[in-house]
């Protein structure tokens, strides 16, 4: 058992279709808010946000299909598949309409959800979101080569540098959080789902044209109020993508954290939480 000053919500499980899905929930008042982690992530990425947001909202975070402690079926893991899974998760828990807060791949899935199921969306928060351009880090482009993901055997030697690379200030993330996250990172069998996710959405040239272009071309159709949040020093998805979203989303506002990397909610949690709560209250 990890000794921690962080209050870790209790794991709960729900069947979403045939997929056993781990989720956390907190808060018993206000409108529903669903937190969506990035590719290969897990609910642990929202540990610094859930307690604050739950003071005013009913907050749900879940391990996306193929990630964390949720089942990892053989699937394409395209954005449409992920968006449908979000909708099915909502139906499984009786959530009619919600705000989606998505980081990285979770943001891409949230954008796809907004286009497919606009009646189920209240507001949208995009946090260094996937799906807004071709550019992505070289390391993730390499992940589209099958043997690359398979050859990565999880161990502590690669885990910490890999995680810290995502932050502008690598010292900002606590050893405590790393100890909580590592067992999820080291789970057996996660490579196959990651490989399918990468091959569907990425190539050696970057994000596949067939993935990001339909999203960008339809941004003007998303009427939901949208908060776009980005770390200026993001090494995974460039800050230029934030301005693409701000240009084409008709009901949006933009906030750039400077300095900050790919996970503003982890690197600058106090400011992030305040910003999101203000946006949701309006």
Residue 140: name the closest of 208, 78, 91, 190 by CA: 208
Phi and psi torsions of 155, nearest 5°: -155, 165
Contact 24, 34 (CB under 8 A): no
| Residue 149 neighbours by CB under 8 Å, 6+ apart | 143, 191, 194, 195, 198
Residue 198: name the closest of 82, 67, 78 by CA: 78
Contact 234, 264 (CB under 8 A): no
Residues 109, 114, 115, 119, Cα dihedral to 10°: 140
Catalytic annotation present for 209? no
What is the token pair recorded at 51?
A: 């307690």
- Catalytic residue (one of 262, 263, 265, 274): 262
Phi and psi torsions of 260, nearest 5°: -175, 150
DSSP per position, 32-72:
EEEEE--TT--GGGGTTTHHHHTTTSEEEEE--TTSTTS--
Residue numbers annotated as active site: 262
């Amino acid at each position: 058992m990890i000794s921690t000053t962080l209050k870790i919500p209790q794991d709960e499980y729900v069947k979403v279709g045939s997929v056993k899905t781990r989720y956390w929930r907190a808060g018993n008042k206000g409108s529903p808010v669903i937190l969506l982690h990035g590719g290969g992530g897990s609910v642990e990425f929202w540990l610094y946000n859930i307690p604050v947001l739950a003071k005013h909202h009913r907050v749900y975070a879940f391990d996306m299909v193929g990630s964390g402690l949720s089942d990892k079926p053989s699937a394409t893991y395209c954005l449409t598949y992920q968006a449908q899974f979000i909708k099915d998760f909502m139906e499984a828990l009786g959530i009619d309409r919600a705000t989606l807060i998505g980081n990285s791949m979770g943001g891409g899935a949230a954008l796809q959800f907004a286009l497919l199921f606009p009646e189920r969306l209240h507001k949208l928060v995009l946090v260094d979101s996937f799906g807004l351009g071709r550019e992505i880090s070289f390391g993730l482009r390499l992940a589209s080569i099958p043997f690359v993901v398979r050859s990565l055997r999880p161990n502590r030697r690669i885990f910490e540098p890999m995680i810290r690379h995502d932050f502008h200030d690598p010292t900002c993330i606590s050893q405590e959080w790393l100890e909580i996250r590592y067992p999820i990172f080291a789970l057996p069998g996660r490579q196959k789902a990651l490989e399918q996710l990468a091959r569907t959405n990425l190539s050696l040239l970057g994000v596949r044209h067939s993935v990001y272009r339909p999203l960008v071309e339809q941004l003007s159709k998303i009427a939901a109020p949208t908060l776009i949040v980005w770390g200026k020093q993001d090494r995974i998805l460039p800050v230029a993508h934030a301005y693409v979203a701000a240009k084409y989303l008709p009901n949006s506002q933009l906030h750039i954290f400077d300095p900050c990397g790919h996970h503003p909610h982890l690197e600058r949690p106090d400011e992030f939480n305040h910003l999101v709560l203000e946006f949701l209250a309006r």
